[in-house]
């Protein structure tokens, strides 16, 4: 029971990570689209970041108990319970990628406005810098292997996620906290 509980909390942490990345993307997108938004939507962000993973982890736990209650739940002989977690994570990755593209489009429009000074080269440098800063914040690197089957790309996926995913928190902390004078 302890092993299963630890795995449930582990899966909850993984899913919450993806949904908090989605919350960051939604927050930034709303900041750029609705400049004078009177409310901050913090309750909705909390529900998305903690609530959606809770619903799907409870569903996953129930399906594991009913369909595949063997061992410590670390193997997936039946695909059903695994997809209860995988589909919401894929949806969050896809929505976050769409938000990322939309934000890049908004940044490009703002850089091309007549109010922004500089030549084309400096504007593209700013766009490239903004894009590179947004990649770890949005978890865009997850889209590389999101739609591939696990069996076909497992070795490359592990190496890629270990290299980029492991440093994602550090990169976000350095760029958005430690190097930010407001923080």
* Out of 25-29, 63-67, 164-168, least confident range: 164-168
Q: Which of 12-26, 43-57, 124-138 has the highest mean pLDDT?
A: 43-57
* pTM, rounded to two decimals: 0.74
Stretch 20-47: mean pLDDT = 80
Higher pLDDT, 70 or 131: 70
| Domain boundaries defined on the chain | 1-178
The sign one gets for the Cα dihedral 65, 68, 74, 76 is negative
Question: What is the predicted pLDDT for the residue at 151?
Answer: 59
Architecture of 1-178 per CATH?
Answer: Up-down Bundle (1.20)
As a whole number, the mean pLDDT across the chain is 78
Which is nearest to 22 in space by CA: 130, 95, 85? 95
DSSP helix/strand/coil, 117: coil
CA distance 91 to 117: 38
Stretch 12-33: mean pLDDT = 86
Question: What is the predicted pLDDT for the residue at 122?
Answer: 65
Question: What is the predicted pLDDT for the residue at 104?
Answer: 82
CA distance 72 to 4: 5
Question: What is the predicted pLDDT for the residue at 58?
Answer: 95
In this predicted structure, the answer to whether residue 144 has a pLDDT above a threshold of 70 is no
In this predicted structure, the answer to whether residue 83 has a pLDDT above a threshold of 60 is yes
């Amino acid at each position: 029971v302890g092993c299963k509980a630890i795995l449930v909390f582990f899966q909850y942490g993984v899913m919450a990570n993806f949904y908090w990345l989605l919350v960051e993307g939604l927050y930034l997108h709303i900041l750029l689209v609705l400049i004078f938004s009177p409310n901050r939507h913090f309750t909705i962000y909390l529900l998305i970041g903690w609530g959606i993973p809770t619903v799907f982890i409870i569903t996953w736990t129930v399906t594991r108990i009913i369909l595949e209650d063997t061992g410590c739940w670390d193997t997936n002989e039946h695909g059903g319970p695994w997809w209860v977690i995988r589909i919401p994570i894929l949806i969050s990755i896809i929505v976050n990628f769409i938000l990322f593209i939309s934000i890049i489009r908004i940044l490009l429009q703002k850089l091309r406005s007549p109010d922004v000074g500089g030549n084309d080269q400096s504007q593209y440098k700013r766009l490239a810098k903004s894009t590179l800063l947004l990649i770890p914040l949005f978890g865009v690197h997850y889209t590389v292997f999101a739609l591939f089957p696990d069996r076909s790309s497992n070795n490359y996926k592990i190496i890629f996620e270990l290299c980029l995913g492991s440093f994602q928190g550090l990169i976000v902390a350095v760029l958005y906290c430690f190097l930010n004078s407001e923080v």
